[in-house]
Chain A
Amino acid sequence: MRAILNRILNSEFLTFNEVLRLKVAIVTIFVITFLGLSMTTSTLNTFTLDINIIVPSFIALAILLTILLTIVNLSRIAMHFSIYTIIGITGFIVIGSHDFFGFIMFFVTLTVIIFYQDILTYLLYGGAVTVAGTYYILYYGSSLIGTNSIDPQVSQMTYIIVLIGFYIIFLIQFVVSDNIYEKMNNEWVRMNKTLAKYQDFTLHHLLEMVEKNGVEPLYRNVKFQQTVSELSVFINEFFEEEGNNIAEYVEYYFFLHDQDVESIIDNKDMKIETRKYASQFQKYLMNKRSELISMLFDFATLLKGDDEYTTDRYSYDLDKLFSDRIDKFLSLAVLYKYLRTEVTQQDKWGNVNIILTHSEIREMFISKEFREFISYEQVNFFLDNEELFEQFL
């Protein structure tokens, strides 16, 4: 329980799979609670004793299955099972009691489905639950009409309108947040990839510096390897008696730096363990733009001090940055000059030594993707005066 609470508090740092597992765990706790409540209310329902034993038993089995599926990491299937279970409990309470608290279960079920934040699941199961709720009110709603009701028909209609309204409003919320979430994610992944390119270049400069200075790369330095090994053994001693077992994995990690890791991973003749560790260590190599290197560069940027924030700090669109037409054209000329004179590309061996040619820049300028940086008007200005750009910049 404490672990679940901790996970809830730090849920933003969990992976998608971990979040789904957490959600299934939370729903399971609620499902168990509602099962308990349904059994408590069984004295009020109209079912026979057999039904009152068989149905909750099946529901308990379904809960058990959900837990098992979560344990074996089949979270998605577990999610569906938890939904079936809550639908089952809703049916059991609603049909059995024909009371107002039973009707609340339709909202509970919708909330559980909403919780999973999967639009298709919501459309399908949520839609089915809403239809079932509407059907229930249309045919059995008379048992839920209050004694104060002015017009029973209006009361019935109110139930239906609120249930459908609840479904639709959450559907709207889904569409809005899904849209925002997807756009943000898309932009984030795109920027992650762009960032990887900058870091590729940074690393390349650093590797070239090491090579030029004739210094032994760190991953080949015995003292560095020894330090990593000793620290790893020290940590591992907290996990297993033979802390030293990790030492050979440290050796393997450093060994991988001079190997073609992809070919090790793909080599089916090698031991599974060897390939598995090669694949996992690949993310942390020091001579590639790995996750480790990316995080190291990000760490470095964290300590570089803060510039003042301006509203255009993350804007790269020349058309938006400048309102004056002359400035727009001048900035285009500067951009062209930058691309035409600075080394911005890698050759086929990965060396940073390529400057873009006029025709390559032209192609870039007229591409659809480049509208992120320059407007159609600027492209037309460039095309109209192409020869001047090429000759004087």
Chain B
Amino acid sequence: MRQDTNKYQYGQLETYKESLELKHIKTKTLIINLVLFVFAFVVGYFLIKLEIKTTHMAGILTLFGVLFVANLSLYSYSHDLFNNLKLAMYFNSILVFVIAVSLILIFQTPSIFTILFLAYAVTAIYQDYKVMILSNFTLFLTGSLLVVRFTDIFSIPGSTASQNVLILIFLIVFVLLLTLSSYILIKRKSFFYNQLAQIKESEVRNMDLLMEVENIHMKKKFNSTNYYKSLELFSKELSRKIGIENIFSRKIKLLKDLKKYNLSEINERYPDYSIEEIKELKNLELSVNKKMRNIGIKSSKSIGIEVTRKEIFSESQFKSFKHFDDEMYVKIISFVVFYCLLKIDKPYLKELSEDKVKDIFLNSEYYYKVDRDVLNIYLENNKVFDTIVNDLLKDNLNYASHT
């Protein structure tokens, strides 16, 4: 069976990750442009100092000019900014190498060859998979081609042909090291984007879960009518105090109507409000929407939480059944308890079928949360697990009353 550990994940994850990435890609684009501007200045200075041919000089400076104009255009065009900046990212990565190679071909010295490493460093700021592949491939390809086809570049008094072979070998090992290094770093970075996006959604869902369990336990539902009544009274008194007519009452009526009518009907009844305004007001509606309730829950629980620097980089923050300092018995027992709990009907989660449990363990992040050996034993013998649970647990527990 083909494994897809993204099969079971929050549906909102990818969209939010994109918005998180957008925020950072903006900063990175600005920094890279700044670095390239300084780079252009230095290159320009040397081109003038060495009295290079005007055509060469104009060519290089035009490349820089194209780069800045393209970046400025893509950055300022706000529609679909994420993709624009991604485009700018690939464009910059390619053009930086084009500039570097052009300079190498103009000067044809070993010292200018190192500019390829500088080009690589600039693109590394992006910390992006595709850019990483692109720049590692370009560095390898251009570097190797230059070493093999333009041996003159590396000609140093007293050097031999075998030294060019050594340069090529060193370059290959260097590119390999760079590739591995960036691969791991980018993976870790993507993981944190993922973790952050996941926890944001997890927060919303845990608030829902809390409300769900609280409603079952307390046997009561959120009383929005009471809230609207209090709001009407409050706004009436407030208007009296300020000495103005009650400007809140119509809004409160609209809020109540949001439960009864759909967006277009509301728009017909309240033509003085735009669709955007009504959409925004939906967050304030209390009987169907959960936004205000969630703000209430979050604000009442998150105050007073402090984070120390030690905790930021602590491994204990990651929950799993395979903490590296845990004994094997602990890894086994914790996983088994978790598995058994999934097979039991609970107030907030119905009993899961064996196929579903196996599918989730195989195709979700839980695959990485269980010790690999333990999980493999389960995946290969899940029918045995199911039989044991069915023999011992089924019909012997008043499931829904348990946690």
Contact = CB atoms under 8 A, between A and B. Distances in A.
A148 B153 CA distance: 7
Contacts of B11: 306, 309
B124 to A, nearest CB: 6
A168 B213 CA distance: 54
Nearest to A151: B50
A213 interface: yes
B28 interface: yes
Interface in A283-306: 283-284, 286-287, 291-304, 306
A330 B109 contact: no
Given A147-B155, A253-B333, A163 B114 contact: yes
B319 A249 contact: no
A298 B360 CA distance: 13
A331 to B, nearest CB: 6
A53 interface: no
What does DSSP make chain B's interface, helix, strand, loop or mixed? helix
Contact of A143 (B125, B156, B214): B156
A25 B365 CA distance: 26
Interface residues of B, number: 179
B177 A189 contact: no
B399 to A, nearest CB: 9
B318 to A, nearest CB: 7
A72 to B, nearest CB: 14
Indicate the size class of the contact surface on chain A: 35 or more
A367 B303 CA distance: 9
A312 B200 CA distance: 12
A264 interface: no
B173 A37 contact: yes
B377 A238 contact: yes
B373 to A, nearest CB: 8
Contacts of B218: 205
A58 interface: no
B157 A147 contact: yes
A195 B114 contact: no
Contacts of B237: 388, 391-392
B284 interface: yes
Contacts of B201: 313-314
A327 B338 contact: no
Interface string A318-336: 1001111011011101110
24 contacts: A15-B324, A104-B167, A147-B152, A158-B114, A172-B125, A173-B125, A176-B27, A177-B189, A194-B203, A194-B298, A195-B199, A197-B301, A209-B216, A218-B344, A231-B389, A234-B381, A235-B377, A253-B333, A296-B338, A303-B349, A327-B284, A330-B235, A330-B252, A392-B230
